[in-house]
Amino acid sequence: MKKNFIYLASAAILLASCNKNSGTITHTYNKATAQYADINEVRNTAVAAPAKNIQKAGKIYFGNAVLLIGEPNKGIHVFDNSNPSNPVNVSFIDLPYTNEFYVHGNQIYAISHYDLVKINISDLANPVVESRLDNAFGTPIKDNQGRILMGFTYEVVTEEFKLNSPEEEMLRQNNKLYYDYQDKLIPVSEVPSSFIGSGRKEKGTINKIALDNSHVYVVGGEELYTFQENGGSMSKVNEQEIGSDIETIYEEGDYLYVGTKSSMIVVNNSNPSSPTVSGRYTHEVSCDPVLPNGNIAYLTLRSVQADGCNGFVNLLEVIDITNKNNPTKIGDVTMASPYGMTMLDNHLFVGEGNNGISILDVTNASNPVKLVTYTSIKAYDVLKHPSLNDVILVTGNSGLKQYQFNPNTNTLVELSNVDLP
Amino acid sequence: MGAKFVSFSQIPNGAIFHLPGDNTVKGQLFVSDTAYHLTLYNKTVLSFSKYDALKAYLPEEIYLFSNGKFNYKKGFLFGLEATSGINHVSSNLSVTYTPNFHGIEYGMNIGSHLNFVDFSAITNWVWLDVSSFTVSGLIKYYPLQTSLRRPYVKASVGHASNSIPNFAGNTTIKNSAVLEFGLGYTFSSKSRTKWYVELTQYNMKINGTFTDNVNTNQGVAPITEFDIWLNRLMLRFGFVFGK
């Protein structure tokens, strides 16, 4: 019996060990080639620059009297928006390699490459760097001349790989391959998340940065970084992996609401220096900003494949977050292609891309009721004015428009338009 | 076990006859013009008319052993076999002819094969169930023809018509070649059915494309081309039977 067992086990091992497929896989993928430069030149660049025309709009911020429009990898356009009917382009913040920023009062917190930068915009025409935390998002990768990896140039290539090669594995995780100056593969885990996670394709304000008093929270592809402000400087106090495919973060009360492609993560930051994950709500894979409203959170799930977003549903999900350890879905509303959203009193505005903008009544927060959809207004992201309770800003295909909302008639009147390329 | 194996010797001019009354007799054959004379194991000689034999396995067709078992020496054989290995199951029907020429046997197989294969596409892991209808030519060589257990080496080359039932919408696959090399044993028996066991090295090429309609990039579905040799070492069981 024992002998037979040994024979069988040996045969099984022999068979299992001899089942190695061989061959090739041909992928068409994004090849990222490393670009190196002297990072000190970037860090020493004066941020204040004259107003420039917008070449390509990225991140957008809607402030009390200021409108900020990011120029991907180059900087931020500053508009004086004290009159929403007539925003004026007043200056440019020269901040290379910036795609993500967040505004609080007169401060901009921006991810600039490896660094977290805080900029004072009290004087819109003359922004100044208040503090900079070098290498906040990773240790710089250097070439053989000591220059720092500053970014990548991308090209779509078709290439043949051996089956089960490292390249194949990396392509499965991330549809790009990163190559260094020697044309060697750079593991995705070693590429700073500020290179990977930034640069959303749509214009908008969906945030990767949140602020809570003296703490700044930044999400990367998988990480949540926590920074503490100490007077004129910042320091990293926490870094933890909390999920994958993280897209957004939103702070309310003692909690951070983190949206990923497949879940909403509730993070307790009652101890601001050491946030902890308290609950998760898992949903179908899709793109999904989160908007908390008291004990309810609204989640938009989108499956529009044209922007690289996967999934099969287009929904506004209503999540009960009374128990932060166990967020529970209590309802949903079918949408066309929901992107960003905002609220004015009891009205929820949901941008639906080329399908327009929808307005929902959320008087009963747990039961949103769709009132109207304006298909003529192309809306990706929707923001409310910080102080004017009847003004929203909408980013569309080619422009950034401000509308005045009449809650009695549920109508929108256009106030101004800034053309965006 | 080995001593037992050696003790059963081959009977020269061995033959088997099925006679009326459900009688089967085995022994050493001497033939006259009109009758068979069979020396049985107990040394008695049985003589009967050629016309009384309902079925005959003559010395040119079989190797008969002293334990009553026999192997085929010449003629057509029909077979059925099942194969199992990691990520593979298959069955084959075979027709082979043994010409009694230095232990050679040749013929053809038709088979139904199912292979499971996985590989990575962009941002996705692809599992394919490749279903194949195969037609192959095969040749076997028996170096020890007259032994009770006959070892053999086998080679088979064929054509596989491939399909992927569960990914019909976004995967294409081409027809391909299928190659097999085997080492096996055929066991003699007292009946017309001969079992065999074989260790088979199986190689089949699959190539085609996988279009990822879910993980699109800017609305464009990425296409992954695959060109893979499936290399499987497998255990095969089967049987053949003659007339």
Per-residue pLDDT tens over the stretch A11-39: 655 555 467 788 999 988 889 999 898 88
Which residues of B fall within a CB distance of 8 Å from A164?
Answer: 119
User: Is B184 in contact with B195 (CB distance < 8 Å)?
Assistant: no
Dist. CA B189–CA A183, nearest whole Å: 65
Q: Cβ B123–A169 below 8 Å, yes or no?
A: no
* Phi and psi torsions of A270, nearest 5°: -60, -30
Residue B102 has what DSSP assignment? Answer: T
Q: With a threshold of 0.90, does the pTM exceed it? A: no
Instruction: Give the residue from chain A lying closest to B215, CA to CA.
Output: A310
High-pLDDT (> 90) share of chain A, %: 32
Instruction: State how far the alpha carbon of B76 is from the alpha carbons of A176, B18, B61, in Å.
Output: 58, 19, 10
The shortest C-alpha distance from B8 to chain A (Å) reads: 26
Could you give the 3-state DSSP secondary structure of residue A182? Answer: coil
Cβ of residue B217 closer than 8 Å to a chain A Cβ:
yes
Look at A303-307, A349-353, A398-402 and tell me which has the smallest mean pLDDT. Answer: A303-307
**Interface with B, mutate which of A159, A244, A305, A309 (most B CBs under 10 A):** A305
Neighbours of A346 (CB within 10 A): 13
Token code pair at residue A381: 């992201």
| DSSP per residue, B25-81 | EEEEEEE-SSEEEEE-TTS-EEEEEGGG-SEEE-TTTEEEBTTS-EEE-SEEEEEEE
User: Is A319 in contact with A313 (CB distance < 8 Å)?
Assistant: no
Token code pair at residue A199: 């640069």
ipTM above 0.90, yes or no: no
Give the pLDDT confidence of B28-56 residue by residue, as tens digits: 999 877 889 999 988 899 999 988 899 99
CB-neighbour burial class of residue B60 (10 A; exposed 0-12, middle 13-18, buried 19+): exposed
CB within 8 Å of B94: residues ≥ 6 apart: B77, B78, B79, B80, B81, B107, B108, B109, B138, B238, B240
What letters, b where the CB count within 10 A reaches 16 and e where it falls short, cover A151-174?
bbeeeeeeeebebbeebbebbbeb
Cβ of residue B117 closer than 8 Å to a chain A Cβ:
yes
At residue A276's C-alpha, the angle toward residues A274 and A279, to 5°, is 165
**Residue A405: what pLDDT?**
96
CB within 8 Å of A123: residues ≥ 6 apart: none
Candidates B86, B219, B224; nearest CB to A15: B86
Q: How far is CA B20 from the centre of its chain?
A: 33
Candidates B214, B215, B230; nearest CB to A21: B230
Which residues of B fall within a CB distance of 8 Å from A21?
Answer: 117, 228-231
**Residue A153: what pLDDT?**
85
B166 pLDDT band, cuts 50/70/90, is: low
